[in-house]
Chain A
Amino acid sequence: MSNNVNITINGKTFQVPEGMNLIEAAELCGIHIPNLCYIKGMRGIGACRLCLVEIEGQKGPVIACTTKVKDGMVVKTETDEIRDIRKFVIDLIVSMHPLDCMTCTKAGVCRLQDYAYGFEIKESSFTRKRFGFSPDEANPFIKRDPDYCILCGRCVRICKAQDTNVLEFMGRGVGAKVTTAADRPLQESGCTFCGSCIDVCPVNAILEADRWRKGREWDYERVNSTCLLCGGACDIVVSTMDGRVMKINAGAPEASHERYICAYGRFGYDAIESHGRIRTPMLRIDGELREVSWEEALRHVAELLKKAGKDTGFITTGSILNEDALMFKNFASKVVKTKNIDSTVSLYGDRDTLLSPVAQIDEADLIITAGINPSQWTRALASIDAIIRKKVKGGAKLIVISSEDIPLSGIAHVKLTGNEVGFLKAITKALIDKGLSKDKALTKLTEDAQVTEAILKASELIEASKAPLILSSPSLYGAAANLSLIKGKAVSVSLEANAKGVILMGLVPSGLSIKDMAKGGLRVLYVVGDVPINMRPNVETLIYQGTYMTDLARSADVVLPVASYLETSGTIVDYLGRLKKVTKAIDTDMPSHRDVFRHIAKLMKAELKLPKEAEIKRLVKLPSKNKPSAFEKKEGMDIDARRFIESINAPIINNSRLLWLKEAGVMV
């Protein structure tokens, strides 16, 4: 995309992209420039002064974090003077930092420790300073201990970049403290407990509340995976020790706007070890669920399905993996031979409204939201809200199209509230009027649109933008896609992590839909995954195959336990259409969905092969282009995203520390 330039660092010449930040450019070349306050992907503030380097032609040392590389730049990162200055700064910081590295949780990943080690600072040569701040330990998520704080301000900046604006400096200079407004505990200050501050804190000042004596970084094994708790499908890094999940961090690249996970993703893992897990297969015998062996349970299921055949219904969620979904589809259609297959995805979208071309969000310089209401505070697609807010703070433009005022419209450059389809139509017309398109079909479709001043302003933003990205709700996708025919890309935002994958794997209703099946009447209803249905539908037999003991599971006749999202591997297709890997982080005795299906199939004298990677890849084909379609809002796809996401995560919330949010009244 951008040109490469030659720069010389410490006598060696490298090729790096033009205009790149010098710290990041040096990192590319394998040279570390010390820094404490720099956050990748954000503008440097030059507070710590550790990144001083010498650049030929400049008088004194300059800071690298605010320097962009130019062709022919000659940089020295390690001169005696620079080393002395760095040592001096670390020496000063160490003079006000506790020297208890032997019991400190952050030992091993503490930047201050690394630099003190590098400069051989056993203890500071300056006067020891102690301020005796009291830590904030009033919540089960984030512990703040200002005694360890080095005032780098990274947490404050990340909190502001996301627009959560909870953390702020109190006072200035030495003795200042990072805290909330009026020094209140986090839960009383509007904190969403996303924990982004944990990810950026270079020392022990902010970290997970339960980390004390739960192992240190070198004890952990790390696995890159994807969170499956909502449509955001964020990248995560799962740290495990002795087969237990110890913590989860955001996993997107450091410089990416997508580096964010919400409280669900970060702290919901408690549920895996909770009492809410289903641990053994169960059968309803004499009106009561009794634990039975796997063999007995599966034999029973095989019998049931053989008898019921076509009169069986299958329901699943949009968060099961592609591999499971494909196996499930084959099992239901080829082995059980029923057409009644559907997923919760049908509640808010279908093949036409969900499958949008692959898009990138990091590069977009204009975001248009249509009909979606992401919010970090309600944790409905929290990551999308955070990404949009970060992008807007970073200079991107935002147009919000919604039927009513939503929190996001507060930061929008153009806010269009009312008839969403009308707005999309009018913007399209305005763009055609500007001569950006000569498409006849579109011209005809938009004839009757009214172009107002706000619409004109929106169209100007689109005209000026290099890479606009439209994030639309499935119900508005058709109309939004028309806009993308002229410029940019349109993405249909799904509410569940693998909604698109589930459809691509063929889990679309050809018989009864999920709503029909939930009404009852079938002989056997087979529920796969923790489907958010609270009442047992009126069916002869209910089979529940899931991870947690939900109300529905309690009312089932057969209960089969399966591995949770951190205990199984596979792939998903996220809302942007990217194929993402989900990797098993911990071992479990529970089988995955696909194993269960394979065994039942065997008992039914049919063979099902585990899907191969190539097969999945072949099936994951998203349309590359859109066709003009009518400007209309699809009926029956409007559900309350917040309540839906809360209900699909209900087992996770109720079985983890997230329940505290409800009990403390922080989550409404």
Chain B
Amino acid sequence: MTEVKEKKVEDIKKEAESLKCPVQRSLYYIKEFLAGPMCGRCFPCEMGTYEAKIRLENLVEGNGTDEDIEALRRIMKYMLTASMCMKGKNTARFVLEWLGLEEFNAHTKGECPQMECRGLIRYRIIPELCIMCGECKKVCRFNAILGEERKPFQSGFLPFEIRQRRCTSCGECIKVCPTKAIILESKAVFEAMMVKR
């Protein structure tokens, strides 16, 4: 058997920092931590990080409340003093650092300032800019884009639209749009738009 070398918490932190949103960073970190270096030898760390993952997922999904942030603060505060080894203590230190950022709190008000958290952002196609080329539909792995490529001989057409339920915010469509017709906006703005319509 080949031995897989365990990731170091510092390395996971570095990886996490490639994400801009502190909530995303924390979640990525905690997930990697649970999958790798978490040894499960002391209660505050093993149970605390598991709970933290649930709370962070709430925030990412847009269901987060102040309570979740409060719980995260409490978990990390006690993990810092009570966990057995440096892995747990460092985890708490990192997450506390991210928790301190204002952008973190914004999540409970329905905003992800870095536009990274799935539940708080929406992709939208601006009909005025869309030339109905169909590039986005081709790259969408989740079949989240509805619409029909425009052909000169057809009279009617089906406009391009994103099915929010299927969208995973992977961002592939934005990359291929030749007219920059696909934009990212916060869920709050998006919903306000929908009401207006």
Contact = CB atoms under 8 A, between A and B. Distances in A.
B71 A174 contact: no
A31 interface: no
A81 interface: yes
Interface in B20-65: 34, 38-44, 46-51, 54-55
Given A49-B83, A81-B81, A173-B46, 4 more contacts: A52-B82, A92-B51, A127-B51, A169-B40
B31 to A, nearest CB: 12
B43 A48 contact: yes
4 closest cross-chain pairs (CB), A and B: A172-B40, A174-B50, A173-B40, A92-B47
Contact of B38 (A45, A61, A88, A173): A173
B56 to A, nearest CB: 12
B46 A89 contact: no
A126 B71 contact: yes
A125 interface: yes
Given A49-B83, A84-B78, A89 B43 contact: yes
B71 A125 contact: yes
Interface residues of B, number: 24
Nearest to A96: B47
A172 B47 CA distance: 11
B12 to A, nearest CB: 16
B34 A85 contact: no
Contacts of A45: 41
Contacts of B55: 127
Contacts of A88: 44, 74-75, 78, 82
A49 B79 CA distance: 10
A176 interface: yes
A46 B46 CA distance: 13
B188 interface: no
Given A81-B81, A126-B51, A93 B39 contact: no
Interface string A54-89: 000000110000000000000000000100110011
In this complex, which of A95, A127, A129, A151 has the most chain B Cβ atoms within 10 angstroms of its Cβ?
A: A127
B84 A49 contact: yes
In this complex, which of A45, A89, A126, A175 has the most chain B Cβ atoms within 10 angstroms of its Cβ?
A: A126
A391 B106 CA distance: 59
Range of interface residues on A (Cβ < 8 Å): 20 to 34
A84 B44 CA distance: 12
Nearest to A89: B43
Interface of B: 34, 38-44, 46-51, 54-55, 71, 74-75, 78, 81-84
B27 to A, nearest CB: 15
A432 interface: no
Contacts of B38: 172-173
Contacts, number: 73
Contacts of B47: 89, 92-93, 95-96, 173-174
Contacts of B40: 151, 169, 172-173, 176
Contacts of A49: 42-44, 82-84
21 contacts: A46-B84, A47-B43, A49-B43, A52-B82, A61-B81, A84-B78, A85-B44, A85-B78, A85-B81, A88-B74, A88-B78, A88-B82, A89-B43, A92-B47, A92-B48, A127-B54, A172-B38, A172-B39, A172-B40, A173-B46, A174-B46
Interface in A360-398: none
Contact of A60 (B48, B49, B81): B81
Contacts of A172: 38-40, 46
A61 B89 CA distance: 13
Interface string A154-175: 0000000000000001001111
A567 to B, nearest CB: 45
A173 B71 contact: no
A651 to B, nearest CB: 47
Contact of B41 (A47, A50, A84, A93): A47
A134 to B, nearest CB: 21
B50 A173 contact: yes
Contacts of B51: 92, 95, 126-127
Contacts of A129: 50
B17 to A, nearest CB: 24
A174 B50 CA distance: 7
A84 B74 CA distance: 10
A96 B51 CA distance: 10
Nearest to B49: A173
B85 to A, nearest CB: 10
A49 B43 CA distance: 7
Contacts of A92: 43-44, 47-48, 51
